[in-house]
Amino acid sequence: MLDPRSLVSALRPFTKVNTGRSIGELAVTLVPFFALVLAMLVAVSSGYVLALVLVPVAGLLLLRTFIIQHDCGHGAFLGTRTGNDALGRALGVLTFTPYDCWRRSHALHHATTGNLDARGFGDVDTLTVREFRSRGPVRRVLYRIYRHPIFLFGFGPAYLFVLRHRLPIGLMREGKRYWISALATNLATGGVLAGLMVLFGIAATVLVVVPTLLFAATTGVWLFYVQHQFERAHWNGGEEWSFHEAALHGSSHLDLPQPLRWFTGNIGIHHVHHLASRIPFYRLPDVLAAYPQLRDLNRLTIGATFKPMTLALWDEDQRRLVSFRKAIGTSS
């Protein structure tokens, strides 16, 4: 049986950054992304709206850009903190994500994953069965709406990346650093958009940028959801909660086929990432090769990701996520 604490020490060699490899990964992500977006802008501004068929590919490249930004936040992409932060902030202009704000909330997410007493930091709101039953009718309905797939994967991504990231929500009283991060990102992103509108027109810019961003955002939210919301996830409270246990057993291994594994920067190997977040994304497959027993731990395929979308409540007695129907059926 895997011992998470021992595994952390064993995985330390994989945390070494290969700067040349990192720069190469950045280049093969940004060059085709910029080229594709430019081609779509030129085509759409010239009346060839069919060029928007390329939006999914551009969206996936933008998602991969976010994964690189994500690694910068963990200090896992370049060799220095200064380099990681500078690159992360620059990429945040493209991903509509203020780097410093996101890095702080994401660090809290990592520090509290699977902790019933510390929910609400950079995660999907999750109630226990008992908590849901104790709520009044209105609050139950609101939670049902929030947990509905149409809301989570329809409204949710647009709200998060278009609206919420414009202000340091949740960090407004944590100092001016987060206000500067959010407002500076807004200013830089707005400048880029204004430049594109001058060159290619408002309509073409909106038609290309908005669908690309929303495709990337929706795919990213779906990834994040299935990485932590699955039937045999791991939640505990009080002294029973353990960071290492929650990191390894509370995160899934989303086993994606190529080329999706490449576009998502191997982030599906999420249980390893949560246990050792300083491992560069391009080294995560090396961990599975060295420790094959990790392959089947919390493994999900694309086909298996549909069921987790029906799960909404943590059953503390059964120690698993259950659906509303299941919770209501066992309430008697």
How many CB atoms are closer than 10 A to CB 107?
15
Any idea which residue has 């919301």 for tokens? 229
Q: What is the pLDDT of residues 163-174, one digit of tens each?
A: 999 999 999 999
Query: Does 256 map to a domain?
Result: yes
Query: Does 141 map to a domain?
Result: no
Number of structural domains the chain divides into: 1
Domain that holds residue 98: 4-123+149-290
The C-alpha atoms of residue 123 and residue 99 are separated, in whole angstroms, by 17
The C-alpha atoms of residue 187 and residue 252 are separated, in whole angstroms, by 36
Phi and psi for 105 in degrees, rounded to 5? -65, -35
Query: Does 324 map to a domain?
Result: no
* Contacts with 156 (C-beta within 8 Å, 6 or more apart), sequence order: 221
Q: What is the pLDDT of residues 26-60, one digit of tens each?
A: 999 999 999 999 999 999 999 999 999 999 999 99
Structure tokens, 34: 């910029």
The pLDDT value recorded for residue 332 is: 39
What is the average pLDDT across 90-96?
98
What is the average pLDDT across 182-194?
98
* Contacts with 65 (C-beta within 8 Å, 6 or more apart), sequence order: 29, 30, 33, 91, 94, 95
The pLDDT value recorded for residue 295 is: 97
What is the average pLDDT across 193-214?
98
The C-alpha atoms of residue 90 and residue 198 are separated, in whole angstroms, by 22
* Contacts with 63 (C-beta within 8 Å, 6 or more apart), sequence order: 216, 219, 220, 263, 264
- Of 97, 226, 254, nearest to 152 by C-alpha is 226
The C-alpha atoms of residue 214 and residue 144 are separated, in whole angstroms, by 23
Q: What is the pLDDT of residues 303-326, one digit of tens each?
A: 999 999 999 999 999 999 999 999
Query: Does 79 map to a domain?
Result: yes
Query: Does 185 map to a domain?
Result: yes
The C-alpha atoms of residue 224 and residue 220 are separated, in whole angstroms, by 6
Structure tokens, 125: 């709101």
Q: What is the pLDDT of residues 79-88, one digit of tens each?
A: 999 999 999 9
Instruction: For residue 1, name the pLDDT band (cuts at 50, 70, 90).
Output: low
What 8-state DSSP symbol labels residue 308?
G
Q: What is the pLDDT of residues 103-154, one digit of tens each?
A: 999 999 999 999 999 987 778 999 999 999 999 999 999 999 999 999 999 9
Q: What is the pLDDT of residues 231-282, one digit of tens each?
A: 999 999 999 999 999 999 999 999 999 999 999 999 999 999 999 999 999 9
In order of 53, 153, 195, 238, 287, the CA distances from 207 in angstroms are: 11, 20, 15, 49, 41
Any idea which residue has 């206000």 for tokens? 179
Asked if 222 and 153 touch (Cβ cutoff 8 Å), the reply is yes
Asked if 228 and 251 touch (Cβ cutoff 8 Å), the reply is yes
Query: Does 140 map to a domain?
Result: no
Asked if 255 and 301 touch (Cβ cutoff 8 Å), the reply is yes
Query: Does 195 map to a domain?
Result: yes
Enumerate the β-bridge partners of residue 269. 253
The C-alpha atoms of residue 267 and residue 159 are separated, in whole angstroms, by 23
In order of 131, 133, 231, 316, 329, the CA distances from 332 in angstroms are: 15, 11, 22, 16, 7
- Of 27, 29, 56, 31, nearest to 208 by C-alpha is 56
Query: Does 313 map to a domain?
Result: no
**Maximum Cα–Cα distance for the chain, whole Å?**
64
